[in-house]
Amino acid sequence: MIFHPKYLIFPIDRKIFKNVLTLALPVILGNLSRVLMNITDVAMVGRLGKNALAAVGMGSFLIRTVMSRRFGMVLQPGLVYKQ
Of 75 and 49, the one with more pLDDT: 49
The stretch 69-82 carries a mean pLDDT of 74
Q: Please report which residue ranges of 4-49 form alpha helices under DSSP H.
A: 5-9, 14-45
**pTM of the predicted structure, to 2 decimals:** 0.59
pLDDT the model gives residue 13? 75
- Would you kindly state where each structural domain of the chain is located, as residue ranges? 11-82
Contacts made by residues 3-12, CB under 8 angstroms, sequence distance 24+: none
pLDDT tens digits for range 1-52: 556 666 666 667 778 888 888 888 988 998 899 889 888 988 999 899 999 9
pLDDT the model gives residue 32? 92
